[in-house]
Amino acid sequence: MTVTTIAARRSCGLYEEDKRDDEIQSSEAHMRIAVLVSGRGSNLGALLEAEERGALAPAEISLVLSNRPQAPALERAREAGRTAVCVDQTRYRGRVAMEEAMLEQLTRHRIDAIVLAGFMRILSARFLASFSERVINVHPSLLPAFPGLDAAAQAIAHGAKVSGCTVHFVDDGVDTGPIIAQACTPVHAGDDAASLHRRIQTLEHELLPRAVQMLADGRLSCIGRRVDIRPLDGT
Ligand code: GRF
């Protein structure tokens, strides 16, 4: 394929840096990860830092993909020198067309697994079938409590005494997939949704990179709803 210009790609709702297909490198030894984002990207930041200090290997962040051109996470990715692509949701008619465009990017960048880090769209069963047990998400509550939007606010409104975060495999429900790992924090009397969410995010920034590394190491297997984690020594 020839070099595609940014302008040409913008006309079809896709924004990215210039890159030829033969510049996209693949390595057998690594699991090539795409991080899907819609917002701030603090979890993306934590993944990038983990990769920097060798705590993500054999996973490598090979693509950052956003559905919103204005997502600060895209800028964060570019500042870190990463391939950052936007599949602008406003430019596609319906989910099927948008997911086709996403799949095209994921295939082009030879992606093995997907990490949803604040990606604010539900993925279809058809899309997920292409990445069976290779899509994970981080959610700011102790699932199955408080799925969906504003999880910290839901926990406060419910009077929960403990909250936290969950990393789970993604199925076609809303935050319903098999749970990989969780971390918890008390809910303090003076907490509001923002202060609780800040504390939960500190936990997310530790837990998500660890889960990604376990996935890339082949240590996770789903047995029905239960996720088995093989210990490090392989026993
Ligand atoms: C996180 O709290 C995550 O749990 C939720 O969306 C938020 C994304 O935050 N799914 P950030 O963009 O990584 O800062």
Span 18-34, pLDDT tens digits: 465 666 665 567 999 99
In terms of CATH architecture, what is 29-229?
Answer: 3-Layer(aba) Sandwich (3.40)
Residue 232: what pLDDT? 85
Domain ranges of the chain: 29-229
Residue to substitute in 42, 150, 199, 203 for testing ligand 1 pocket (most ligand atoms within 8 angstroms of CB): 42
Residues 151-180 have pLDDT tens digits of 999 999 999 999 999 999 999 999 999 999
Q: What is the pLDDT of residue 22?
A: 60
Average pLDDT for 223-228: 96
pLDDT at 7: 38
Residue 40 beta carbon below 6 angstroms from any ligand 1 atom: yes
Average pLDDT value over all residues in the chain: 91
Q: Is the dihedral of CA 69, 199, 149, 136 positive or negative?
A: positive
pLDDT of 6 over the 50 cut: no
Q: Candidates 35, 40, 43: which one to mutate for ligand 1, based on the most atoms within 8 Å of Cβ?
A: 43
d(CA 98, CA 16): 16
Least confident range from 54-63, 132-141, 226-235: namely 226-235
The answer to whether the beta carbons of residues 165 and 203 sit under 8 Å apart is: yes
For the stretch 172-214, pLDDT in tens is: 999 999 999 999 999 999 999 999 999 999 999 999 999 999 9
Do the beta carbons of residue 43 and residue 118 sit within 8 Å? yes
Give pLDDT, residue 27.
Answer: 59
Please give the residue that has the higher pLDDT: either 29 or 86: 86
Residue whose CA is at the smallest distance from ligand 1 atom 4: 139
Is the minimum distance from the CB of 10 to ligand 1 under 6 angstroms? no
Question: What is the average pLDDT across 41-67?
Answer: 98
Q: How confident is the model at residue 139 (pLDDT cuts 50, 70, 90)?
A: very high
Query: Does pLDDT of 3 surpass 80?
Result: no
> Tokens in use for 194?
């923002």
pLDDT at 9 over 60: no
pLDDT at 25: 61
| Residues whose CB falls within 8 Å of the CB of residue 222, separated by 6 or more in sequence, listed in order | 133, 169, 178, 228
Confidence band, pLDDT 50/70/90 cuts, at residue 233: confident
